[in-house]
Structure 1
Amino acid sequence: MDYPELEPVLAVILQTVSAQKILLFGGGARCEAHPESDYDLLVVVVPPEHKAMEVWKGLYEATSSVKKGFSLDILLATREDVEKHQDAWNAINSKALKEGKVPFEGQG
């Protein structure tokens, strides 16, 4: 893995939600991160899991418990949402797809 500092975070995410794919985007993906930078992750999940507030809360609590030494921003979306907005000039999903690195991709 190119981002060993993300391994504990990815493990907790995968224990908490059924992720199909996780994309790292932003400064971390562009190798422009500095010590105060956060990591931006787009977690692609199976619907309707991303709509439930308890899923968001569980993911926030789980990732907050990991000692990581950096801030973390997590977005949840379905594969359908990502595909639908992949060409939108102002969508975060589009930015994540264009510049993102894939530290995790499941089967199917």
Structure 2
Amino acid sequence: MSIQPSPQAFARVWCSSIPIAALAERYGVSVPAVSQRAKRQGLSSRQTRPRWSRERDEALARLREAGLTASEIAPRLGPDVTRGAVLGRAWRLGLATRVDEASRQLSLQRVAA
């Protein structure tokens, strides 16, 4: 069940530092629904992409090194981080791509042949 705040109350929380994902959870709606409501009310847009800090980059590198998939890493880095954001950031940081063991063995067999 979703909660419908008044336009004034919504504008106040929209302009606060509360993340959009937290607003969506608070009101029981999706992140795009929160953004669409703000747009309908004529409120200025907010940054919806994850903010990458040194700590998040280090956590990403550790989790990637541990062999976790992007889908497993994303929720560990925060509610605003998606699988695609993890893959893009890993690429920009030059982190090794995750290759499953079956694919690695197949590649080794092809090289040996």
Structure 1 and Structure 2 fold alike (TM over 0.5): no
TM (normalized to structure 1)?
0.24
| Larger strand percent | 1
Structure whose CA Rg is larger: 2
TM (normalized to structure 2)?
0.23
| Higher relative contact order, chain-length normalized (CA < 8 Å, sep 6+) | 1
